[in-house]
Amino acid sequence: METSPPEAILIPGGGVRAEGELPEWTLRRLQRALQVEGRPLFILLSAGTPHKPPPLDGRGFPIFESLAAARWLLAHGVPAERILTETCSYDTIGNAYFARRLHVDPLGLRRLLVITSEFHLARTTAVFGWVFSLDAPPGGYHLQFEAVSDAGIDPRLLSARGEKEASALRQVQQLRAQIHSLADLHRWLYTRHAAYAPWAAPPAVLDEDARASY
């Protein structure tokens, strides 16, 4: 069966370094997105991470992950009108929630491709499948997922990140059993989630190898 090309490609952030440099795994996601046929929108996700402070630009302002990715796409010939950024989220659940509320639903997008890394695929699939199932419009969304290779990434970093991903995936599975509407998710984000609720305890400190994967 022939599948229609995606209307938009959603690319979770994977961290950002000094001067707006992107880590190799994020570059692979962007490079793969450029190969997708058609003229999809590129929806770049993430402000940063709660696990470490963001780098600052020359004026002292934080460098958002999605804006750094947008600048990379612009430098590689993507027209500005095909690039959308999201600068509210600090984790994968936020990536999905804010992508949907800020861009996907207002534009009526339904055919979506999510590109991430192998080490992040299981959690991404679980989170986006869950968030986009909540109060879905008639006919729902057509979500596809694709992973780029982890080849060449430091094995210690991948091992530490793998443990973090497994723990986070278990938490997502528990939340999915408890949260059944966008209103419930909104309430949980802003009352319980460490990245968004002002009175929530900060997330646990990760070891050096795990932090390096953000």
Q: Is the pLDDT of residue 1 over 50?
A: no
Q: Is the pLDDT of residue 167 over 60?
A: yes
d(CA 120, CA 123): 6
Who has greater pLDDT, 213 or 3? 213
- CA 211, 213, 214 angle in degrees (round to 5)? 75
Q: Which domains does the chain have, with CATH numbers?
A: 8-211 (3.40.50.620)
pLDDT score for 202: 83
30: nearest Cα among 49, 10, 47, 8: 10
pLDDT score for 200: 84
Q: With contact defined as beta carbons under 8 Å apart, do 103 and 73 qualify?
A: no
pTM, two decimals, is 0.96
pLDDT score for 185: 98
